[in-house]
């Protein structure tokens, strides 16, 4: 493939200046011009989806600590008063304990509609019809829709609080993975027209529209036959990304450092998909939920593995702790939530319950020391049937539930 044909071409136009509002996460207190970025098609072909990361809960979630909601850094006297035990804001947003204020979320809102929000604020962003949300982070919502009249996707990034369009990206592949990492958007997916190729991944600036090809499209490894897709995982710091080049039953795993553009392949073929990670360790899991393991990012060495359970949802905290929920198949079976050192596998069980209670860890809403525990399914499942979603909040330090829990208003 010619180098010039692989090079991305882009054009952009300014549509609205940023209002200077303090933005959560890495974009906090900096002005980001709202852009419409139209990225030209790369001539290289890329490949169809084979699955996603296992053991990571929702693909939008890596458990990184997020900043405060707009206004949360004002003096206490200026904030809305609380009327629930626990002291979190109680407004049209529902009740959110202080440690979860500012957490971005996305959920169904009746019918086929989706909405993005920020926990602890009344900010709501309806996702337009025909678009599917794939990420909510740092006060931004990322959604994807099919291109009209040709293969590929259009990825849009919007400010949740103001509804402004930050970026609009046309891609030749069907994008089904995206991460906001600092002031860049990293996207990956598969090719709907020419399967059997490595689709690669790209990083697009949310400030000026510049494009960096982190992994170039190209042929699959020798002996690989079928439709392949790229998965994405990011460390809480955003300094390190893991991408799996995956068929239905195995992945090759690359480690990418966005700042330098360096790429290292640490696994050529393993029967597992990338999940939560730190800058040093990647957790991988089988798609049948029967095994999780940890790989050293420097060497690719297997650090530990776990079997004998159904490993469910998980996330990585900003402090580098692996929060894992699983159904232990011992006698009797038990549902557990544990805090695990991702390098040593040292475990501290913080919650144990009868599996019949139907408890589920919700990484979408959880943060460093607080894990949100729902019943009967994921946060999106609960939102599908109710305009207000309630759940319990587990203090991971004490192992106790916080009075009042959490309630999120998803209906409009």
Q: Is the torsion defined by CA of 180, 186, 190, 196 positive or negative? A: negative
Three-state secondary structure call for residue 212:
strand
Token reading at 337: 């939530």
pLDDT value of position 28? 30
pLDDT value of position 227? 87
CA torsion angle 341 342 346 348 (round to 10): 50
* Under 8 Å between Cβ of 395 and 404: no
pLDDT value of position 378? 93
**Of 34-38, 122-126, 300-304, which one has max mean pLDDT?**
300-304
pLDDT over 70 (residue 369): yes
75 beta partners:
none
By CB neighbour count within 10 A (0-12 exposed, 13-18 middle, 19+ buried), where does 277 fall? Answer: buried
Count, residues in the chain? 412
Lowest mean pLDDT among 167-181, 282-296, 325-339, 394-408: 167-181
Task: Report, as an integer, the average pLDDT of 172-178.
Answer: 89
pLDDT over 90 (residue 102): yes
Task: Report, as an integer, the average pLDDT of 4-31.
Answer: 27
Where does the pLDDT of residue 92 fall: very low under 50, low under 70, confident under 90, or very high at 90 and above?
low
pLDDT value of position 93? 59
Q: Which residues of 44-80 are buried (b: 16+ CB within 10 A; e: fewer)?
A: bbbbbbbebbbbbbbbbbbbbebbbbbbbeeeeeebe
Lowest mean pLDDT among 51-60, 162-171, 270-279, 282-291: 51-60
**What tens digit of pLDDT does each residue of 233-266 get?**
999 999 999 999 999 889 999 999 988 889 999 9
Lowest mean pLDDT among 76-85, 194-203, 274-283: 76-85
Indicate which CATH number applies to the domain containing 370.
2.130.10.120
pLDDT over 50 (residue 335): yes
Cα(324)–Cα(35) distance, integer angstroms: 38
Higher-confidence residue: 21 or 251? Answer: 251
* Under 8 Å between Cβ of 293 and 345: no
pLDDT value of position 324? 98
pLDDT value of position 225? 87
Percent of the chain scored above 90 by pLDDT?
A: 60
Average pLDDT over the chain, rounded to an integer:
78
Percent of the chain scored above 70 by pLDDT?
A: 76
pLDDT value of position 61? 33
Cα(262)–Cα(240) distance, integer angstroms: 10
Q: Structural domain of residue 297, as residue ranges?
A: 3-409
Which residues neighbour 283 within 8 Å (Cβ) at sequence distance 6 or greater?
55, 56, 274, 275, 276, 277, 292, 293, 294, 295, 314, 316, 322, 342
Instruction: Report residue 278 CA to chain centroid gap.
Output: 14
Where does the pLDDT of residue 1 fall: very low under 50, low under 70, confident under 90, or very high at 90 and above?
very low
List the strands of the sheet with 334-340, edge to edge: 309-316, 322-328, 334-340, 347-353
Cα(342)–Cα(185) distance, integer angstroms: 26
Cα(166)–Cα(345) distance, integer angstroms: 40
Angle (nearest 5°) at CA 235 between 293 and 53: 50
- Phi, psi torsion values for 288, nearest 5 degrees: -90, 10
**What tens digit of pLDDT does each residue of 267-289 get?**
999 999 999 999 999 999 999 99
pLDDT over 50 (residue 57): no
pTM (predicted TM-score): 0.78
Which H/E stretch holds residue 3? helix 3-6
Cα(289)–Cα(312) distance, integer angstroms: 7
By CB neighbour count within 10 A (0-12 exposed, 13-18 middle, 19+ buried), where does 334 fall? Answer: middle
CA torsion angle 405 70 396 298 (round to 10): 150
pLDDT value of position 255? 96
Higher-confidence residue: 328 or 171? Answer: 328
Number of domains in the chain: 1
Task: Report, as an integer, the average pLDDT of 16-44.
Answer: 27
């Amino acid at each position: 493939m010619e180098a010039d044909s692989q090079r991305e071409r882009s054009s952009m136009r300014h549509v609205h200046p940023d209002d200077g509002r303090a933005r959560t996460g890495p974009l906090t207190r900096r002005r980001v011009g709202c852009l419409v970025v139209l990225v030209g098609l790369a001539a290289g072909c890329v490949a169809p989806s084979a699955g996603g990361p296992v053991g990571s809960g929702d693909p939008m979630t890596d458990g990184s600590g997020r900043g405060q909601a707009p206004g949360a850094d004002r003096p206490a006297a200026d904030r809305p008063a609380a009327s629930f035990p626990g002291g979190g804001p109680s407004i049209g947003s529902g009740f959110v304990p202080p440690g979860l204020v500012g957490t971005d979320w996305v959920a169904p809102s009746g019918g086929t509609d989706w909405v993005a929000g920020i926990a602890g604020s009344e900010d709501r962003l309806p996702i337009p019809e025909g678009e599917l949300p794939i990420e909510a982070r740092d006060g931004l919502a990322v959604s994807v829709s099919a291109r009209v009249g040709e293969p590929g996707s259009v990825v849009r990034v919007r400010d949740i609080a103001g509804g402004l369009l930050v970026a609009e990206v046309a891609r030749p592949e069907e994008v089904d993975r995206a991460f906001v990492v600092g002031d860049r958007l990293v996207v990956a997916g598969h090719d709907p027209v020419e399967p059997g190729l490595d689709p690669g991944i790209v990083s697009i600036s949310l400030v000026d529209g510049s494009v960096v090809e982190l992994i170039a499209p190209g042929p699959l490894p020798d002996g690989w036959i079928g439709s392949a897709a790229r998965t994405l995982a990011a460390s809480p710091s955003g300094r390190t990304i893991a991408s799996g080049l995956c068929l239905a039953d195995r992945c090759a795993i690359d480690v990418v450092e966005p700042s330098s553009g360096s790429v290292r392949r640490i696994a050529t073929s393993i029967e597992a998909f990338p999940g939560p990670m730190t800058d040093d360790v990647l957790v991988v899991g089988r798609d049948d939920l029967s095994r999780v393991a940890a790989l050293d990012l420097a060497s690719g060495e297997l650090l530990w593995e776990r079997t004998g359970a159904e490993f469910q949802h998980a996330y990585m905290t900003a402090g580098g702790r692996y929060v894992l929920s699983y159904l232990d198949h011992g006698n009797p079976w038990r549902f557990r939530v544990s805090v695990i050192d991702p390098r040593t596998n040292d475990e501290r069980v913080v919650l144990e319950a009868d599996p019949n209670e139907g408890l589920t860890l919700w990484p979408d809403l959880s943060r460093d020391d607080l894990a949100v525990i729902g019943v009967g399914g994921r946060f999106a499942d609960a939102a599908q049937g109710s305009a207000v979603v309630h759940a319990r909040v587990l203090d991971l330090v004490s192992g106790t539930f916080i009075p009042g829990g959490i309630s999120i208003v998803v209906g409009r």
